[in-house]
Structures are given as structure tokens and as C-alpha cells.
Chain A
Amino acid sequence: MFEESNIVVGLEIGTSKICVVVGEQNAEGAVNIIGLGQSPSNGVRKGEICDSEKVESELRTAISEAEQMADVEIRSVYLGVTGSHIRGFNNRGKHPVVSADREISADDVQDVIKNAKAINLPAENTVVHAVRQHFCVDGQDGVTNPVGLLGARLEVDMHVIHGHANRLQNAIRLVRATQLEVNEIVFNGIASSLALLSSEQKELGALVIDIGGGTTEYVVYLDGVIRFSGVLAVGGDHVSNDLGHGLKVPLSRAEKLKRDYGSALVTEEAKGQTISLQNELGLTLKNVNHEHLQRIMSLRLEELFEVIGQELERAGLTDYLRAGVFLTGGGSRVPGIDKLAERVFQMNVTHGHAATVGGITTALDQPEWSTGIGLVKYGSLKNRQRAPKPSIASGLKSVVGRFLQRS
């Protein structure tokens, strides 16, 4: 009964599908993925819910699938959020050390973090994450733990990710409506990078690009901390839409063409070739130029990378990504996308692999699941941070409490 607390569930309500990942955390804190559930998603556009009824029923399907597979009852989830309204930026908080001996205390640290969080956000926005990067004592950079050091001025750099409160709340409310508790909301980009990056890669500097159905998240880690993050509301849907428009085929057909014949680069074999589209009786409906198909896709994906590249350039991070670029998300399945990204970013590009957790290996190799897995990873890290294990009495209390809440 008390093993419940070791179950960590990640939920991503994506544009193309809803993913539920169930992880089990052992006593050492390592995570094993024991269950997966998914359901195609029709009520989400560009990462944000536009038809809550549809999403709700699809969510129930995905949850029950995951429950069956993992043989657990899911009570609470870590919810992944995305959308064009989410933005990240770096902020610096300052605090003078006032104690007589100039020794920095834990209170000073609390204060400086509070200062860094007090930022100029539009009134309707709320902070999703405020991640501490490092401290700076009297101008000396790169201090990770200033408590006990001497100094007159303490500063801290934070990476703040914020989003539109109502739009974030929509997803949370919807999950609550299905009698699930939301432990925390997590930016999808952070979740994906947690799943993919090892601590060495974070140290060296890495860019994670998660190309989803409706949105693309990008996150830069450098010196072990998150440096840069953002969302672009362009994803696999846009590729299909471009194809539908350019080849004059319906969207469903475009989607299928993308999967069957797509490429991120125009290949030699495709030049001058046509693909004949057939109906269910085997009659040819239309011929589609293979080269055009690939060129349309290539242009779209190239632009996507270019936009991210420009953002990086502006942040001045391009030269620091020594571990290179990591691609993930369903959109990264397009053949040749690594070559294209290499060409745009001029650095090493790899397909991300969720190596930081164990368990069902088929899931770990699929780019679509990296966000879900990352959410579980995030949850497990939170669990580990949490104060000493609850005593049996309090554990019982919380379980009973939860039981009462649910009924």
C-alpha cells in the first residue's frame, strides 16, 4: 500500500497524441518505466487545448491503458505544458549581505532568490519554473553554494520560464476533472532534456530540440544549468499542412505521404520521380512529384532550425554547445533531419535517446516518448529532494486523506 508513493506518472497532452508514462522509483532513486498509455489527440492545436471534451475522453483512454499496463492506479501526474505563450529568460537578483561578519547565511540565499523571482511579468502571466543557475559573490562568478562564504554583495542568476496563467490553468483543470491530482506542471522542453541529457552533456553545453506535432521546444543547457529555453508554435502539423497545400492533397493524405515518403533533404533518388496516390480500389487518383514533396518538407524544417539558430545567436550561445544538438519528438523521425540540422547549426547533431531511465526499452528508443519519460524523471528528482521519508503514520494519514478527497 505504501509503495504507491514510488509511482511517478508523467502526462503530456500533445498536439498529436496524449502520452502517459508510469515510472517506478526504487529505494536508490533510480527510475524504471513500467507502463505506457497513449491515445491520439484531436482536441489540441499548437500544444494548447481547444476542445476540452475531446481531450478529456482521450485522456481517460490513455490513463486507463497505462494503468492496465503498469498494474497500478494513477492518482497524480506531473503534467507537461507547452504553447507559444511560454517564454524563458534569464534574470539576476541582487542582495546585500548585512550581517556584521559578512558571512553569507541561508537567509541571504533565500532573499536573493526571492529578489530574482520578483520580475516584470505581464499581469496575466505566471512563473512555471525558476531555475537557479549560479551565484555570484562580490563579482566572483560561478559559485554554486554561497552559504558560509564571505562577501558583501550576493547575486544569483535564475532562468525563469513563464506562461499565460489562464492557458496553463486550462490544462490543469482538465486533468483535475478526470479525478487526477496534478503534482506540478513542467515545461515540456525541460522534461525532454531531462530524459535525454546526461550530466556531462549538460556541463559541456547542449541544445535539445523537441519537434512535436504542433510546437517545437528548445532548451539549452550549459555548465550544468539551463541557460535558454523557448517554444515555437511550429511542428509536424505544419509540415503536413505545407504538403497538403503544396501538393494539393487532403491533410490526412499529406500526413501519410509525410510518413511514407518524407525526407528532410531532397534526395537524389527522388528527383524526377512521382508517387501515385491510389484509392482503396487500387485506382490511381493523382500523381505527386516526389521531389516537390521533399523540397516542401525540407524548406519548412530548415526554416524551423534557422529560427532556433537565430534565437541562439541572439543569446550568444552558438559557440558554447560542445555536446551538440539533440533532436527528439515525433517530428525528428523524418529521415535526414540530422543532416539538415547539422547543415544549419554547423555542429554535431544526434538523435536523442532517453538513457537516463531504465525499463521498457521499446519506449525509450522512441522520440515521441521523451517528454513523458522526462516528466517521470522530473517527478523522481522532486521525490528525492523531498524531506526524509514520511513516517508510517503520516503516510497513512496522507493516503486516508487522499482517499477521502477522492470519494
Chain B
Amino acid sequence: MASEIPVDPGALREEVKSKYREVATNPHGKFHFHTGRRLAKRLEYDTSVVDAMPDSAVESFAGVANPFSLRRLERGERVVDAGSGAGFDCFIAAHQVGPDGHVVGVDMLADMLARSRAAAEQMGLRNVEFREGLIEEMPVEDGWADVVMSNGVLNLCADKRLAFQEIWRVLRPGGWLQFADIANGKPVPESALRNIDLWTA
């Protein structure tokens, strides 16, 4: 019977760091996925909001779908973005929750955190902050969040149950989990599941 955790979590984390460090430092490089404004349009984000954002806030965006499409955030909500990358979804969230809300982006990559903090500063956002941390161990207190969101990150966690349990911890009772991720309609062979190179290819 297959293990629920098919690869070494630490080794996968290092592979993910390597790939997404490149997205942070060279957003116009060649990747197997789209990035930036072209991707945001493909994923049906509100163009009026995205068009108003500076390139620095959009160009390293590398999500896989739109976590706001099933539910718009409410004014005043407290939001955690698990795996915030360059901060694109946090900036959309900041727009939706307004000045009385608060958005915390959590990411493990210093390069992404630097990008997201610089873009937030450029946009003058006061309701967004970025913290260094892992999805499996977020620097957020128990029950703080009205909403936890994530985009294209949970599929890159080796231990998904642990990640979802951590999200459960930071959500208040009745809080929302709204995330975007990929899913496969055809089964992936066991050998491929155990090949770390294929997780980020």
C-alpha cells in the first residue's frame, strides 16, 4: 500500500525553494507555467484591480486558479495567505478587506518575502504584512484568521494532512478556507509520485 507521504518533505521543500527562488528573481524566465499579468487574465482575476497594480506586484505571480472566485472577502476580515509567494493574492485580499481588515502572507522564501514587502511599500498598503514561515508551521496564533487562502502551494506540500491541520489551527470556528490548486483527472503512476523532480516540473 502506498504511503500517504510519497516523498521526503525536506527534499521536496528544497526543490520547491529552488524553483520559486527563480520565479522571484527572474520572473520573465522560462518556466513550465505562466506567470504575471498573462496568468492573472487566464485565471479570470478582476482586470480592473490587476491593471491598477504595479508590475512589481504582479510579475512573479505563479498561482494556478482564482481563490476569490467562489467567495469574495468581506470588509474587515483577517486573512492568512499560506504560501504567499510574491504577494499578488495578498494585494487582491487587501483591496477586498479594506483598511479595517488585515492580511498576513506567510512564505518560506526570503526572495519572495523581499519582493512582496517592497511591492506593498510601493503601493502604500498598511493592512498587509509578510512573515517568514512554513505552511506546516505558520507564525500565526490559534484561531486568529477569518479566512485562510492559498494558491498553487498545497500541491507542493508532501504532507497535505499536516498542512490542512495547520490551516485548521489558525482559522477561527466558522472561518473560511478558500484556496486554489491543481487536480489531476487521470491517475499518476506510483513511480512518478515518488520522483521529486516531477513535482515541480
Say whether A and B bind each other: no
Query: B residues within 8 Å of A by Cβ?
Result: none
